[in-house]
Amino acid sequence: MTLGLSVTLKTPHTGEYEQPTGLFINNEFVKGVEGKTFEVINPTDETVITSVHEATEKDVDIAVAAARKAFEGPWKKESPENRGKLLYKLAELFEKNIDILAAVESLDNGKAISMAKGDVGMCAGTLRYYAGWADKIEGKVIETTNDTFNYTKKEPIGVCGQIIPWNFPLLMWAWKIGPAVAAGNVVVLKTAEQTPLSGLVAARLIKEAGFPPGVVNVLSGFGKVAGAAISSHMDIDKVAFTGSTIVGRQIMKAAASSNLKKVTLELGGKSPNIVFADADIDNAISWVNFGIFFNHGQCCCAGSRVYVQEEIYDKFIQKFKERATKNVVGDPFDTSTFQGPQVSQLQFDRVMSYIQHGKEAGATVETGGKRKGDKGYFIEPTIFSNVTEDMKIMQEEIFGPVCAISKFKTKEEAIKVGNTTNYGLAAAVHTSNLNTALEVSNALRAGTVWVNTYNTLHHQLPFGGYKESGIGRELGEAALENYVQTKTVSIRLGDALFG
């Protein structure tokens, strides 16, 4: 690694390690053209971890040129079987390096170390899954008339710009790269400015796995500069983004006004978590707790709107409050920790402002509602009850450890309130009645509906949103459709002349 493009850091979980700080272009870490760097803040104690090189428009141009050269050169000649082998090798490297990848994720993001390890395991699973798909992307023969032979083939789109968020840095890295590469594309990926470190460590594994230069390029930079450059770049054929609905709109406009590049968006959510009176209440509370407080509430599909049938409302509130107070909030490197800090000062302030809004609107704070400690961006798990539909905390995505609870009477009312949002990413139903589970699941306008569980994502299952929660699907076979285009070939047989 070039001198000045790495730094020796230390994590409580692994000790010292070498952290890349450059931009990963053409299988090498390089300095940004303009020499800009930016600081990376530790959300646990608010100290500076290190500084990394910042990608500007010029660096995006260089990365795109490298990707285009790879796409038109060695990568085009790579067989689907070999693409799969490379992804499989990358999955193995993720498993081999699980401790350091998870530790850097916890250091950078504040994620509890146990959950960070779970994320790395899911990354390996995702990459291995798409390794298996690489040689199974097929067209078909279509019979029309006797004097023609017609077939379709699935071809890669080309250079794919990918912009990932800060809440699951490594997992989104794998979700984006896996299907794109399996389908034969090349990638220019921008990490979130809050959490660039783990993505750079993972980038080092790209070269180790044996990928040709330029196939995968990883840039650290800001959305308003590097992200905007990717969205509007005339030589990027497709852009994929995970993040807020507001930014998603901007990316879609930029894609349309540039070269009309293809777009997939996985955006925000305000997901309903509906608990019927006949549910196993202890089981429901366990999953509702996980549904909102998992990953510090920084989860696009978080079950932040909890609707409880009126017969069990008071009992549910009491039990849920008791359960939430057992969540261990603290040092991400303590193995007993469930909830670490919010990712940044900006996010901390945003969440606290929503808590204040809830209090001022007249909702009842059942537990939490305050900062925890005096160092780091920690917020107590917060439960609001007696929340009405018009309150800001019920309508807007908070993206923190805050949930709003309301009661309902009938199944029809549960469906109605469940759908009263502009979002449609996920939902959940808790009931012991199969008919209720199916009827409500089918009626909710959401891309994923969980029954008697929550946040149980799997790389084989498509994930994405209805309405303002996005366009297209991540994961499963469905994600491959984001990265291929269909070509029809029609061949005239015989020597018949037209007319």
Angle between helices 197-209 and 80-96 (to 10 degrees): 130
d(CA 484, CA 86): 19
d(CA 390, CA 393): 9
d(CA 225, CA 59): 11
d(CA 39, CA 390): 39
Residue type, 78: E
Measured torsion, CA atoms of residues 469, 266, 303, 352, in degrees rounded to the nearest 10: -90
3-state helix, strand, coil in the chain (%, to 5): 40, 25, 35
Query: Any catalytic annotation for residue 266?
Result: yes
Helix (H) or strand (E) holding 119: helix 113-133
d(CA 497, CA 302): 63
Q: Which two tokens stand for residue 205?
A: 């594994």
| Apex 10 CA angle, 37 and 211, nearest 5 | 65
- Residue in 105, 106, 108 with CA at minimum distance from that of residue 47: 108
- Measured CA to CA in angstroms, residue 198 lies from 97, 107, 449 at distances of 12, 9, 31
d(CA 237, CA 260): 8
- Measured CA to CA in angstroms, residue 380 lies from 52, 325, 347, 353, 383 at distances of 31, 9, 14, 14, 10
Q: Which two tokens stand for residue 414?
A: 């549960």
Antiparallel, parallel or unpaired: β 470-471 and 148-156: unpaired
- Residue in 114, 48, 46, 121 with CA at minimum distance from that of residue 343: 46
Contacting residues for 70 by C-beta, under 8 A, at least 6 apart: 186, 212, 213, 214, 215
Task: Provide the b/e sequence for 75-84 (b: ≥16 CB within 10 Å).
Answer: beebebeebb
- In the set 54, 193, 266, 366, the catalytic residue is 266
Catalytic residues: 266
